[in-house]
Copies of this chain bind each other. A is one copy, B any other.
């Protein structure tokens, strides 16, 4: 039991090291040798925990997405009004990105790289199912436009990445005012 625990910790150390390196210099910076060094482990050890480098990055992707979803849906109670629920989730999501810039930047980098396999992507998306259900509920109640979930995602969730991205690059600050304006924009784009 203590053994298993140690294994999990080592696995996490490897994932954390990968996250850190990808964040500081792009995915190409996270070489197996560097990850191993940062996690204080032999390069060979990585292959005890992961099939290969691509597998390691894909697993990291899933683990980060899972964390993201956990934060997004914390204290989520399905029977509140749709707008209120959505506001809560939306704020949780952007807060996650503000609080976890490394994980957030990693996810952004993954959006457009072929290292992440389509299967992994789909699995990652499935963590957000409650959100898609909420949109469906909103559509049925006639308070959210009857458009594809892709459009809803594109105009309400996806913009968060841009905003936190530029805040990270110190080009702007996202405080309470901007947060309120941003949610208003998101909601206006999809409300009936």
Contacts and interface: CB of A to CB of B under 8 A. Distances in A.
Interface of A: 25-28, 105, 108-109, 111-115, 118, 145, 147-148, 150-151, 153-155, 158-163, 165-166, 169, 171-172, 178, 181-182, 185-186, 188-191
A165 to B, nearest CB: 7
Contacts of A111: 108, 112, 165
A151 B178 contact: yes
Nearest to A152: B185
Contact of A158 (B26, B158, B182, B186): B158
B147 A181 contact: yes
B151 A158 contact: no
B162 A148 contact: no
Complex A-B, nearest 6 residue pairs according to Cβ-Cβ distance, in ascending order: A189-B189, A154-B159, A185-B189, A154-B162, A108-B112, A158-B162
Nearest to A158: B162
Instruction: Count this chain's copies in the assembly.
Output: 2
Name which of A26, A114, A154 has the most chain B CB atoms within 10 A of its CB: A154
Contacts of A188: 188-189, 191
Given A111-B108, A114-B26, A188-B189, A155 B159 contact: yes
A178 B149 CA distance: 11
A154 B190 CA distance: 15
Nearest to A160: B154
A150 B28 CA distance: 29
Contacts of A109: 112-113
Given A112-B111, A154-B159, A185 B190 contact: yes
